Amino acid sequence: MTPLTGSLLVATGDALVRVSGREVETVLERPGLQCVAVDPRRPEHIVVGCRGAGVWESEDSGTTWRDGGLPAPDVFSVAVSAVDGALYAGCEPSALWVRRDGDAWRELSALRELPSAPTWSFPPRPWTSHVRWIAPSPHDTGLLLAGIELGGLMRSTDGGETWADHRPGAQRDVHQLAWHPTEPGRAYEAAGGGAAWSRDGGDTWESADAGRDRHYTWALAVDPDDPDRWFLSAAPGPFEAHGNRPARAALYRRQGDDPWEELDLGLPRPLEAMPYALAFAAGTLVAALRDGRLLASGDAGESWQTLTTTGIPRVVALAAA
């Protein structure tokens, strides 16, 4: 396998760790640090979100950091648009904020005015919910998806000024969303009840569950060279995926309309640790297990190499830097 080029950024829950080769370095410590995004247009611009500590940003690849000044403390998701550089932050209680062209943060409050909003409820804290994932289209400035845990998959065509409520065919317990980087219209979802994908820019969705015996899906990655090939991690349920018991998890690959195929990571199966984050880095697929182990595949999941087994206490999120 070709060695992984570049570096990875791993959110551990209270720190951001950079992995370069087999070197592991902590670049930021903040309570509740659980999401990370790298600006596609300016990779030196890194954004993290924290439960209880808001948004933090670096303009020099993580050497120095500043408070991003978000007026909300509990951040569950961050994203940077590849089209116009808009920075989004999703919070609990469910709210979505945007900052464009150096302007001040502004809440996209129409999201909270959707008809389904009174029904949104996160099972471990049923009195609230949060914006679990934000996916700005890499092809269209106005096209934006937001996933509510638990509430639904919402779609905007004007940068979040107005919203269409939960999309037909999508799962409501949204965990992760993705666009294909070169195929306009292709979008993908991993959720608590299974997986779905869209051919029409996220307007309508169809289920993608055949071939899996586990339907609590969590991490998601799409092959940048093939819009028909994508990867998911799944467990029997949330207690296995997130609790202290063995995860009984698996990593799957889907090609076109074929059923999902379980991949062999070279570890005992079912996996005791949930694959908690997936990412493509320079053509290499990286799987980050919840217990801190990182594995990589340069051949679309056929074979795997261990990147690191020490220095990372746990994994919450992952991004290629």
- pLDDT the model gives residue 6: 77
Query: Which domains, from first to last, does the chain contain?
Result: 7-320 (2.130.10.10)
What is the pLDDT of the chain when averaged over all its residues?
95
Give the pLDDT confidence of 79-119 residue by residue, as tens digits: 999 999 999 999 999 999 999 987 899 999 999 999 999 99
Question: Scanning the structure block, which residue is given the tokens 């199966």?
Answer: 269
**CB neighbourhood size of 165 (10 A):** 13
What one-character DSSP code corresponds to residue 119? G
What one-character DSSP code corresponds to residue 125? B
User: Torsions phi, psi of 240, nearest 5?
Assistant: -70, -40
The rounded distance, in Å, linking the Cα atoms of 246 and 173 is 22
* 3-state secondary structure at position 186: coil
* 3-state secondary structure at position 241: helix
* 3-state secondary structure at position 216: strand
The rounded distance, in Å, linking the Cα atoms of 140 and 138 is 6
Give the pLDDT confidence of 267-290 residue by residue, as tens digits: 999 999 999 999 999 899 999 999
Whole-prediction pTM value?
A: 0.95
Torsion angle, CA of 216/163/182/42, rounded to 10 degrees?
-100
- The DSSP element (H or E) to which 91 belongs, if any, is strand 87-91
- pLDDT the model gives residue 4: 67
- pLDDT the model gives residue 102: 79
Radius of gyration of the chain (CA): 18
**CB neighbourhood size of 63 (10 A):** 9
* 3-state secondary structure at position 79: strand
Tokens of 240: 């296995």
